[in-house]
Structure 1
């Protein structure tokens, strides 16, 4: 095969520059980036509302008399099951209806539900509130991914997705950094102005503080965001049916299968980091819980924010050089980082060295999710992007969120039972999942590039 026939060759150029495609008028750049800023903040608040409960385990168990098992259900099943299952029908709505109202409604719902957690007096009531948090957040990714795709031409789109996914990093770091601050603030309010807090306990005030900013943001979106025009839509779709998405998957099974499979394997490692790295620093290196959370947040936030934004620019740079498989390369780089730096973090002999390796891994951590958004937009028809993102959300929630937390705990309970055993359990997860991700993504490069080329041709006149 000649180099010109190789769809992953650096010499191959996209059919035509999307910036100059006749008949497509993109929104004003300043407004487009304003919308991305709002979506990024929404993502940060979603992660904050989702993760902050992990730091409230002791007061919640004491107040509601719940067990560790029940608390695990609150963090996992109550959120992930409904969050993932509802992603597909919401994705269908996003592909057929106006996305901005769906996004705003979801934001308002998960913010109110987070505040509603403060009213729970039993495990069952808190479980229902967490379900509603997951229902509301299920609207974010399908709607945001579809909206961003219609704000930017394909060559600039990865940059916007890179900025958007920085909201995930910001929210995760904020959950560790600010939940402790909210607890301190709630104690001060209860002690100094008890007449203002109405007899609430500290954990209840934390839920209120976490949910309130989302309502403010929903109002701002309502008055300042416009529904973007759909770009490159072949024909309007009015009937609700899974046939179109099953058809596109059957036409490009390797492209979609390797993109989804490889990035989900990376996310298993990501959820292992979120769920178990604080415990590793506490058990293996003897750090205090507050110090572990603070150091992980302080180190991870600036590095991961840089990586989240930088990843979009890297994907754009690779795409402009003719690499139609740029998202696959970026996600594979994340897999390699998990193998090298994730394993090094787990097995480092000192906490300081582990923190350095953690920072190096964080440089590539968000490349994976940037690759997901860019890759889905690159190989999916406009009217199916919300559904494809919803399917990826289902896979990442039901598989990665569950496995990333379960496997480490299973290994420490079964094989590595000493306090330091968590390091070996984490190392195994990083080695196996990181290696599997890298191999899967590299094997799918050619199929992905062909699917990307076919999808780009749909945007061209008379294609």
Structure 2
């Protein structure tokens, strides 16, 4: 697996141009990712009406959107990734999309907290097979030198999904009920899963990579593919991959905590209504985060050709610039001023994702990409998605006794040290990359 990049483009060489089919497949996979994230974020978007209906606390909401979901999402992504590397990745993706969409619809009929928790766990089970296969499919439709841009465009799925979730979910909840939003989104996902199964073609694994990076001619067989243990050990034995995963986990601790509780903070403590959330917060989230995802993908394609350390320094710079603006968002006394402060951090906070995915996909063999992407997601989502929202919800419950009117605001302030921790982790990653480059140069 890798001591050196398996598919890195030659510095300064022009990138091959992907065909029209590649862009169509990318658009389809991005739409599936939109649904993936929309389903995942509906809970946080509709937190207040759910609280009013089912009587759940901030801590219980944090567990629903964090640990309960992440336990299944992160752990099951590993066997699903191993299976996808040895089978048809498109079929795995389509089946997973159908499963998480059906579970999303089940959230809409939950009449108690335990029922809602079980439905959320089922969403996590389905989503475990969503993103890693897509990473690998895209990497086999787009040649080296264009993957950062392609994966950056694919990673527009979360901001678009989150923005659509805010606009659609809040509007439906305000006009009808929060339950109907879950039912409608689930139905759209099931139809999409059928379309992916029928119309997306499985690409040849490693077909666009330089010849040394391709698996042997017999790689279509199980015997020629690296085993689960070899891929697992290779990932965590590689300091670059290991430190990238940990740095992303530290970053996602902040981003998922922010994403899961921003709407509740804006509504409960800054006076925003569901109708205002559906318009203004949706615009800030969609435009800001999408801009950050796309810009970071374009930048990493350019900067990584000059120096591989760009995979570490670009996310670190983004977080440093985002921190003071995040503090302004938490401090602001009105929702209007809070959204002004929030706009840039929604993009800068996500400067890590496209560099991380691109680095992992180019650092491993083509027939290890799905499992390696799943291992990346295991680490960063177990830390970030599993514990970020859980921590913030419990912190808000802790502050409620002394700060009953602004417990969430106080909890948000405690995320500042985690910003600094994430920056430090990316600087550690930069050192690991420099060491790897020095070792390769000395061979």
TM-score if structure 1 supplies the norm length?
0.81
> Which whole-Å CA distance do the structure 2 matches of 1:335 and 1:436 have between them?
10
List gaps (5 residues or longer) in structure 1: 1-6, 21-25, 188-201, 456-462
Q: Which residue of 1 aligns with 2:39?
A: 49
Partners of 2:99 and 2:143 lie apart in 1 by: 31
Give 3-state SS (helix, strand or coil) of 1:227's partner.
coil
Q: 1:287 to 1:88 in 2, by over 3 A?
A: same
Q: Tell me which of 231, 234, 239 is aligned to 1:248.
A: 234
Corresponding residue of 2:406: 420
The answer on 1:148 being equivalent to 2:123 is no
Deviation at 1:132, TM superposition (A): 2.3
CA distance in 2, matches of 1:173, 1:110: 19
Q: 2:270 corresponds to which residue?
A: 285
Bigger Cα Rg:
1
State how 1:32-431 maps to structure 2 within 5 Å: 32-57=22-47, 67-68=56-57, 72-121=62-111, 123-183=113-173, 187=176, 202-231=177-206, 232-235=213-216, 236=219, 238=222, 241-249=227-235, 251-252=237-238, 254-288=239-273, 290-292=275-277, 294-320=279-305, 322-348=306-332, 350-414=334-398, 417-418=402-403, 419-429=405-415, 431=416
- Judging changes above 3 Å, is the alpha-carbon distance between structure 1 residues 408 and 130 closer, same or farther for their aligned structure 2 residues? closer
CA distance in 2, matches of 1:123, 1:288: 24
Q: Please report how far the alpha carbon of residue 177 of structure 1 lies from its aligned counterpart in structure 2 after TM superposition.
A: 1.1
Is the contact between residue 15 and residue 453 of structure 1 (CA under 8 Å) also seen in structure 2?
Answer: no
Q: Does 1:442 align with 2:432?
A: no
Aligned residues: 421
1: CA distance, partners of 2:120 / 2:377: 18
Q: Distance in 1 between matches of 2:437 and 2:140?
A: 17
In terms of mean alpha carbon deviation, does 165-174 or 439-448 score higher?
A: 439-448
CA contact (8 A) 1:336 1:438 kept: yes
**How far 1:298 moved relative to its partner?**
1.8
SS at match of 2:352: helix
* Kept after mapping to 2: 8 A contact 1:60/1:203: yes
Structure 2 CA distance for partners of 1:168 and 1:381, relative to 1, 3 Å: same
CA RMSD across the alignment:
3.1
**Structure-2 separation of matches of 1:132 and 1:113:** 6
**Structure 2 length-normalised TM:** 0.84
- Looking at structure 2, the residues matched to 283 and 421 of structure 1 have their Cα atoms a distance apart, in angstroms, of 10
Cα separation, partners in 2 of 1:454 and 1:379, compared to 1, 3 Å = farther
Q: Which moved more, 1:394-403 or 1:284-293?
A: 284-293
1:172-215 CA-to-partner distances (Å, cap 9, x unmatched) read: 11111101222356x3xxxxxxxxxxxxxx44432221112212
Question: Residue 209 of structure 2 corresponds to which residue in structure 1?
Answer: none
Encode CA deviations 1:316-354: one digit per residue, 9 max, x unaligned: 11123x122332222212321342322232234554432
Deviation at 1:150, TM superposition (A): 1.0
- Aligned residues of 1:173 and 1:298 also touching (Cα < 8 A): yes
Separation (CA, whole Å) in 2 of partners of 1:118 and 1:259: 37
Partner of 2:210: none
Gap change, CA 1:325 and 1:95, over 3 Å in 2: farther
2:69 and 2:121 in contact (8 A); partners too:
yes
Maintained 8 Å contact 1:324/1:453: no
Question: 2:272 & 2:76 partners in 1: Cα distance?
Answer: 39
Please say if residues 271 and 404 of structure 1, whose CA atoms lie closer than 8 Å, have aligned partners that are also in contact.
yes
Q: CA deviation at 1:302?
A: 1.6
